[in-house]
Amino acid sequence: MKVAIAGLGLMGGSLGLALRERGHDVTGYDRDPAEAATAVERGCADRAAASLAEACADADLVVVATPVSAIAGLVAEALAANPTATVTDIGSTKGQIMAAVPAPGRARMVGGHPICGSEAHGAAAARPELYGGATWFLTPTLETDPERLAQLHALVGEVGARPVVVDPDQHDRIVALTSHVPHVLANVLALQVAEGDVDGHRPLDTTGGSFRDMTRVAGANPAMWIDILLDNRAAVLAALDDARGRLDAVSRALEAGDAEYLAQWIGGAREARRETLARAHRTAPADLVDLVVSVPDRPGAISAIALALSANGINIEEFALTHISPESGGEIRIVVAGDAQADRAVEVLRAEGCAAFRAEPGGAE
Amino acid sequence: MKVAIAGLGLMGGSLGLALRERGHDVTGYDRDPAEAATAVERGCADRAAASLAEACADADLVVVATPVSAIAGLVAEALAANPTATVTDIGSTKGQIMAAVPAPGRARMVGGHPICGSEAHGAAAARPELYGGATWFLTPTLETDPERLAQLHALVGEVGARPVVVDPDQHDRIVALTSHVPHVLANVLALQVAEGDVDGHRPLDTTGGSFRDMTRVAGANPAMWIDILLDNRAAVLAALDDARGRLDAVSRALEAGDAEYLAQWIGGAREARRETLARAHRTAPADLVDLVVSVPDRPGAISAIALALSANGINIEEFALTHISPESGGEIRIVVAGDAQADRAVEVLRAEGCAAFRAEPGGAE
C-alpha cells in the first residue's frame, strides 16, 4: 500500500516505521524540513515530499498525524489533492474534525485515534512497536465508504493495534472519561500540591511514588492540550460534573464517618482496576469465530453495523467486505473473539435487520 | 542497636532486612505465626518472639509496623512492656496516634511515616532497599526526648531514607494533599470510567497508559484505606474542598473558552511536575554544611528547632546532640545541604533564640 504521512513526529514517525517493516511504501511530509530529514534518516519514511500535495499525489492512504488544531485543514487539503485516496487522522478529538470534512470527500474520510504515546517527542524518538496492543479508534460516519473502513481496520490490526469502531461523538464522550478528565485531574493534583503550604512546609518536597504516577501527564504539551480540551469541552464539562458529584459523595461519607460506604466504594474501585488490567494484558489468544453477514441494500448500513456491534461491547477482530456493491452493501465477514461474543453478535446483527450466520469451517470453500 | 519490629509485613519485613544488613539486631513479632516464620526465613529478623512484650523486653527501639487501626494500642503496650525503649511507628496518619500516647510514655514516643510501599504484600515481598531515597516523616511532639529523636533521625538516614521532621498535625495535612487526595481521585477515576456508559460502549475497554498510571493505587487495600481516610478526615475534607474549587475554575475556563487561563494552568502544572521530578531524583551530592547550635535551657526546645527548620523549607541531613542535658537542651550539631540552606538555617535558628554558627572545619577538634 502507498501511504502518505503528514506530520513526522513521534506518532507519524512510529507509524511510518511500523508500516515500512510490513512492506508498505511510505512518503512523509513535515512542514519542518529538519524533522522530515530526521524521519527519513531513521527509516520512518522512504522519502520526504516538499509539500502535502506532493506527498498525497500517488497515495492510496493519507494519514494526517499533526496536532489537533491543524488536522481539519490538512484533511481537506489531502482530499482535494488526491481524488481517490482514503484519508485518516490520529487526532485526540473527532467530532469537530469529522464535522469539518467537505461534503465531496466524506465517503473517503475515516477518522482515527490511537490511544498511545510517549513522554518523548519527534521522529528521533519514533519506534515501530509504539502501536502494539493499543486501542485504535476508527470513527466512520454513515457516509463513509465501508470498503475504506475495512481497509483501514485491517491496516490498524497489521501494525499491532486493536481497532475499535465508534461514531465521532461517542468517541469524544469516551475519551473525555478515559483521557481528558484524567489529564485535568493530574494537573489539578500537581498544582494543588505545588501551591500547598502547611505552616511553611512544602508538600511538593515530600511526595511519593503514587503522586508521581498520578501526575506523570501533568502539564504535558500545553499547546496540544488546550486544543483538545476546548475542542471537546462539552463532553469534558459533563465528565467533570460527574467527577465532582463523585467527590461530593465521598466527602459526605467522610463527614458521616460512613465506613460501610467507603468499603463499597474502595471495593468497586478495586474491581475497576482489576478489569482495566485484564483488558490491558489481554494476551491469551481467544478462540476466534467467523461470522458471515448479509447487509441490507442501503447507504451507511455497513458502518451502522460496525457501530452497533461496538456499542454492544463486541469488538470486531477482523472486518472484511465480500461481494460488496459500493453504497449499497452486500456481504461482510466479521471475526470476533469467543463463543459468547459470537452469539451476542448474531443477536445484535439480526436486530439490525441483517442475516448473520457462523461461517462453517471449510463449508463455503 | 537492638530493634523490635511489631508487624512483619512488607514494610516491617523490609525494615528488618535493611537494619540487619547494617549490623543491627532485630527481633520480630507478628500476630500471625506463619508470617513471622516467613520473615525469619527471609532474614527480616534474627528471631521471632511469641508476644509483643517478649519482643520488646530487650529492645532499644520498638517499631510498630502494623495497619493504622492497631498502632495506638500496640504503642501503649510497647511503652508499658519496656520502661526504657524508644518507640516509633510507620502509620500513614499521625495526629490521632500521637494524641493517644499515654502521658508517662510521651518522652519516648517519636511518630514516624515512611513514604514508600509496594503493590506486593507480606514479608515474602520484603526487600532491604525499599526505603532508599524515600521521605520518612518523623513527628515528635514538644514532649519528645530530643536524644531519642536524634537517634531515630540517624537510623532513618542509615537505611537510606530522608528524614523530615514535622509535627503530627502538619504531617496529616501534608499527606492529605500528597497521598490521601490522590488516592481518592484514583478511586473516583476508576469508578467513573468503570461505571461509564456511552451508548452501550464501555469506556473501560479502551483505556490507555495514562489512565492505568493514574489508577494504579485505585482500590488498594480497602481495610487500611478506610482507616486512613476516617482517621484523617478533617484534613482530607479540606483538601477535597480545595480540589473541587480547582475543578470549578477549570470548568469555568472551559465554558468561557478561555485559552489563556488554560495555558497558564497547564504551564503551572508543568512546572510542578518538573519540581516533583527534580525532588525525586535528587542524586547530586549537595555540599553539606555543619552548623553548631546552642539551644536554650527549656523542655521541648530542640524539637521546636527541628520543626522550625523544617517549616522554613530546610531539611536536616544530620541531627546530633552534644553536651545535652535531658529536658533542658544544650548544644546540637545540624548538617544541611548547601550554602543557601545553611544561611537560611542560621537566620531561622537565631529567630528562635538560639546561637547558631557554621562549624569551622578542623576548628573544634
Which helix (H) or strand (E) element contains residue A5? strand A2-6
Name the domain boundary from B166, B183, B207. B166
Q: Is the predicted pLDDT of residue B264 greater than 70, yes or no?
A: yes
Count of CB pairs separated by less than 8 Å, A with B: 341
Task: Give the residue from B116, B181, B201, B231 with the most A CB atoms within 10 Å of its CB, the best one to mutate.
Answer: B201
Residues A162 and A176 in one domain: no
Residues in Cβ contact with B251 at an 8 Å cutoff, skipping those fewer than 6 apart: A237, A240, A241
Contacts of B200 in chain A (CB under 8 A): 310-313
Contacts of A277 in chain B (CB under 8 A): 212
Residues A124 and A7 in one domain: yes
Radius of gyration, CA atoms only, chain A: 23
Q: Distance (Å) from the C-alpha of residue B164 to the closest C-alpha of chain A?
A: 8
* Domain hosting residue B187, numbered range: 172-256
List residues bridging with A358 in a β-sheet: A291
What is the mean predicted confidence (pLDDT) over A248-269? 97
A279/B205 Cβ within 8 A? yes
Q: Is the predicted pLDDT of residue A327 greater than 60, yes or no?
A: no
Q: Is the predicted pLDDT of residue A363 greater than 50, yes or no?
A: no
Q: Distance (Å) from the C-alpha of residue B186 to the closest C-alpha of chain A?
A: 8
A266/B222 Cβ within 8 A? yes
B279/A207 Cβ within 8 A? yes
Tell me the C-alpha distance between A93 and A116, whole Å. Answer: 14
Residues B127 and B14 sit within 8 Å (Cβ to Cβ): yes
Residues B111 and B181 in one domain: no
Q: Distance (Å) from the C-alpha of residue A51 to the closest C-alpha of chain B?
A: 30
CATH number at residue A234: 1.10.3660.10
What is the mean predicted confidence (pLDDT) over A182-210? 92
Q: Does B275 fall in a domain?
A: no
B200/A174 Cβ within 8 A? no
A214/B272 Cβ within 8 A? no
Q: Is the predicted pLDDT of residue B277 greater than 70, yes or no?
A: yes
Residue A274: the pLDDT is 83
- Average confidence score pLDDT of chain A: 90
Which helix (H) or strand (E) element contains residue B19? helix B10-21
Residues in Cβ contact with A260 at an 8 Å cutoff, skipping those fewer than 6 apart: none
Q: Distance (Å) from the C-alpha of residue A283 to the closest C-alpha of chain B?
A: 14
- Written as nine digits, the cell of A56 is 498525497
Report the residue from B178, B200, B219 with minimal CB separation from A203: B178
A272/B206 Cβ within 8 A? no
What is the mean predicted confidence (pLDDT) over A62-79? 96
List Cα–Cα distances, A63 to A66, A90, A108, B125, B157, in angstroms.
9, 7, 12, 47, 54
pLDDT digits over A140-164, tens only?
999 999 999 999 999 999 999 999 9
Q: What is the DSSP letter of B105?
A: G
List Cα–Cα distances, B285 to B33, B42, B292, B317, B319, in angstroms.
43, 33, 21, 11, 18
Q: Does B55 fall in a domain?
A: yes
Residues B206 and A233 sit within 8 Å (Cβ to Cβ): no
Report the residue from B257, B270, B277 with minimal CB separation from A222: B270
B242/A205 Cβ within 8 A? no
Residue of A nearest to B189 (CA): A182
Q: Does A365 fall in a domain?
A: no
Tell me the C-alpha distance between B271 and A81, whole Å. Answer: 42
Closest C-alpha to A188, from A225, A215, A213, A228: A215
Residues in Cβ contact with B326 at an 8 Å cutoff, skipping those fewer than 6 apart: B145, B147
Residue A357: the pLDDT is 85
Tell me the C-alpha distance between A184 and A300, whole Å. Answer: 36
Residues A113 and A133 in one domain: yes
Q: Is the predicted pLDDT of residue A84 greater than 70, yes or no?
A: yes
Q: Distance (Å) from the C-alpha of residue A112 to the closest C-alpha of chain B?
A: 14
B204/A189 Cβ within 8 A? no
What is the mean predicted confidence (pLDDT) over B80-109? 96
Task: Give the residue from A92, A171, A189 with the most B CB atoms within 10 Å of its CB, the best one to mutate.
Answer: A189
Residue of A nearest to B244 (CA): A244
Residues A146 and A321 sit within 8 Å (Cβ to Cβ): yes
Residues A63 and A113 sit within 8 Å (Cβ to Cβ): no
Residues B85 and B179 in one domain: no
Residues A105 and A226 in one domain: no
Residue of B nearest to A171 (CA): B198
Contacts of A219 in chain B (CB under 8 A): 266-274
Alpha helix ranges (H) inside chain A: 10-21, 33-41, 52-56, 68-81, 95-99, 146-158, 168-175, 181-194, 209-214, 222-231, 233-256, 259-280, 301-311, 339-351
pLDDT digits over B155-191, tens only?
999 999 999 999 999 999 999 999 999 999 999 999 9
What is the mean predicted confidence (pLDDT) over A234-255? 97
Residues A21 and A149 in one domain: yes
Residue B365: the pLDDT is 36
- Written as nine digits, the cell of B258 is 478561555
- Written as nine digits, the cell of B304 is 521546636
- Written as nine digits, the cell of A137 is 479508534
- Average confidence score pLDDT of chain B: 90
> Position of cell 494552568?
B265
Task: Give the SS3 label for residue A74.
Answer: helix
Q: Does B308 fall in a domain?
A: yes
Q: Does B263 fall in a domain?
A: no
pLDDT tier, B212 (very low <50, low <70, confident <90, very high otherwise): confident
B279/A188 Cβ within 8 A? no
3-state SS string for A85-128 = CEEEECCCCCHHHHHCCCHHHHHHEEEEEECCCCCCCCHHHCCH
Percent of chain B with pLDDT over 70: 94
ipTM (interface predicted TM): 0.82
Residues B27 and B144 in one domain: yes
Tell me the C-alpha distance between B52 and B4, whole Å. Answer: 9
Q: With a threshold of 0.90, does the pTM exceed it?
A: no
Tell me the C-alpha distance between A152 and A76, whole Å. Answer: 19
Residues A158 and A26 in one domain: yes
Q: Does A318 fall in a domain?
A: yes
Residues B79 and B22 in one domain: yes
Q: Give the other-Cβ count within 10 Å of A208's Cβ.
A: 18
CATH number at residue A107: 3.40.50.720
Q: Does B270 fall in a domain?
A: no
Q: What is the DSSP letter of B36?
A: H
Closest C-alpha to A9, from A47, A35, A45: A35
Residue of B nearest to A169 (CA): B198
Burial bucket for residue B104 (CB in 10 Å: 0-12, 13-18, 19+): exposed
Q: Which has more pLDDT, A335 or B114?
A: B114
B193/A178 Cβ within 8 A? yes
Residues A127 and A39 in one domain: yes
Name the domain boundary from A110, A140, A166. A166
Residue of B nearest to A212 (CA): B276
Q: Distance (Å) from the C-alpha of residue A139 to the closest C-alpha of chain B?
A: 13
Task: Give the residue from A118, A210, A226, A305 with the most B CB atoms within 10 Å of its CB, the best one to mutate.
Answer: A210
Q: Distance (Å) from the C-alpha of residue A26 to the closest C-alpha of chain B?
A: 27
Residues B161 and B176 in one domain: no
Q: Does B272 fall in a domain?
A: no
Task: Give the residue from A156, A164, A177, A275 with the most B CB atoms within 10 Å of its CB, the best one to mutate.
Answer: A177
DSSP string, B233-271: HHHHHHHHHHHHHHHHHHHHHHHTT-HHHHHHHHHHHHH
Residues B293 and B349 sit within 8 Å (Cβ to Cβ): yes
Q: Distance (Å) from the C-alpha of residue B177 to the closest C-alpha of chain A?
A: 6
Name the domain boundary from A280, A307, A337. A280
Percent of chain A with pLDDT over 90: 66
Which helix (H) or strand (E) element contains residue B187? helix B181-194
B164/A206 Cβ within 8 A? yes
Residue of B nearest to A233 (CA): B254
Q: How many domains does chain B have?
A: 3
Calculate the CA dihedral of residues B129, B135, B141, B144 and round it to 10 degrees: 30
Residues A39 and A8 sit within 8 Å (Cβ to Cβ): yes
Report the residue from B117, B177, B267 with minimal CB separation from A196: B177
Residues A78 and A64 sit within 8 Å (Cβ to Cβ): yes
Q: What is the DSSP letter of B180?
A: I
DSSP string, B318-365: EEEEEEEETTTEEEEEEEEESHHHHHHHHHHHHHTT-EEEEPPTTT--
